[in-house]
Amino acid sequence: MISLKLTKYKLNKEKIQLAINECVNRVQQTYAGVETYQVAKTLKSLILCKRRFLQMVKLEVDNLILLFEREESTAAEMQPVISNCRMISGQLYNKIHELEMKFDETDTLSSVIHQVHSIDLNKLREMEDWDETYDLVYLESCLNQISELQRNEILVNSSIMTEKLMSDPGLNSRFKFLSKWLMNRTPNIESIIQDLVHIDEEFESFARTFIANPDSNFTNTNINIINTTAADLAVPAETLQRQNFSKKKVKWTSPDLSPSPMIEPQPELEPELHQDQDAIASEVDVSMQDTTFNEQGPSTPSAPTTAVPRRKMRSSLLTHQSLLATARK
């Protein structure tokens, strides 16, 4: 009798293990194969890339302010330029903070994991001999590793985009205008500052190269990073109201300037994941236009695997040192 019970228990545990592995594989295949999530990851990488770009532009503007303020002979004459630079620096600071908040917003990427918690986990708990102290911990460790892999992919892609941005002559000149002006003294520094209003249009053209794909349905996908609404990538609002998971912090290493934003609760995905491909908005906002420079003053500031080892999740999504902290010192 004891032998039969042990054999039955072993078979039940094997069934649970297979069910967990199947669930994990399905999540991995969803992230790898559904274009909705590929585009969402690209957008997040572009957010980080543009944040770094604006930080470098802001640093150059702040250096120009310091240069003119230190030269007493020209400080009074260049006061209008200094005022414009301060206004632009404040607007750039606000834009950078908006990008950080945008990056931490809930979107379709988190909804995949949430479906496992809200739907698949309930089915797993109905299986005979399910053990919360072991089986649930194993499932959570697998999901944590998948989430970390997605974040790492976003960070790596962002680094690649930033490297390409550095080699782009037009964008490169936007965060090196001070050194070039000091060498040539042409064109007029006032016109250089005023021309910064076009940086969003230029970044838009740069970002399109990472989205446009003739063989995909997302050739005209909108990549407006700052002004994107919740409807662009988020799931229905009612799913957010049912979310009960705790919030996690993303550490933006800028101690003086921008607070560490909180990640909103993750939304719940509808049962049919693959129906999301046809449910995407046919035309999302791609323009990335930024008109704040024209204002009178600054605004108020992977192949699936069947067995995944346990691994502790990273405590911080970003570890890059913000250039904003350097600019304020």
pLDDT interval class at 190 (50, 70, 90): confident
Q: Give pLDDT, residue 202.
A: 84
Q: Give pLDDT, residue 54.
A: 92
* CA 44/CA 233 separation, integer angstroms: 11
Q: Does the pLDDT at position 283 exceed 70?
A: no
Q: What DSSP element (H or E) covers 248?
A: none
Name the 3-class secondary structure at 246: coil
Q: Does the pLDDT at position 217 exceed 50?
A: no
First to last CA, the chain: 75
pLDDT interval class at 238 (50, 70, 90): very low
Q: Where are the beta strands (DSSP E) in 147-222?
A: none
Q: Give pLDDT, residue 268.
A: 45
Name the 3-class secondary structure at 321: strand
Q: What is the pLDDT of residues 11-32, one digit of tens each?
A: 999 999 999 999 999 999 989 8
- Number of domains observed in the structure of the chain: 1
Q: Is the dihedral of CA 12, 18, 22, 25 positive or negative?
A: positive
Contacts of 96 (CB under 8 A, 6+ apart): 51, 54, 55, 58, 258, 324
Give the closest residue to 225 by CA, choosing from 262, 250, 202, 200. Answer: 200
Q: Give pLDDT, residue 264.
A: 45
Beta pairing partners, 262? 249
Q: Give pLDDT, residue 318.
A: 39
pLDDT interval class at 185 (50, 70, 90): low
Beta pairing partners, 253? 321
Q: What is the pLDDT of residues 63-118, one digit of tens each?
A: 888 888 777 666 677 788 888 888 888 989 999 999 999 998 877 888 888 889 88
Longest dimension (CA), the chain: 98
Q: What's the chain's average pLDDT?
A: 70
* CA 246/CA 264 separation, integer angstroms: 9
Q: Does the pLDDT at position 158 exceed 50?
A: yes
In the structure, how many helices (H) and strands (E) does the chain have?
Answer: 15, 0
Contacts of 39 (CB under 8 A, 6+ apart): 211, 218, 221
Q: Please check whether residue 213 is in contact with residue 79, taking contact to mean a CB–CB distance below 8 angstroms.
A: no
Q: Give pLDDT, residue 139.
A: 93
Higher pLDDT: 224 or 1? It is 1
Give the closest residue to 153 by CA, choosing from 30, 40, 297. Answer: 40
Q: Does the pLDDT at position 169 exceed 60?
A: yes
Q: Please check whether residue 286 is in contact with residue 224, taking contact to mean a CB–CB distance below 8 angstroms.
A: yes
Residue 323 in tokens = 């250039």
DSSP line for 40-70: HHHHHHHHHHHHHHHHHHHHHHHHHHHHHHH
Domain coverage including residue 35: 2-328
pLDDT interval class at 36 (50, 70, 90): confident
pTM for this entry = 0.61
Q: What is the pLDDT of residues 108-136, one digit of tens each?
A: 888 888 889 889 999 999 998 899 999 99
Residue 274 in tokens = 């693959």
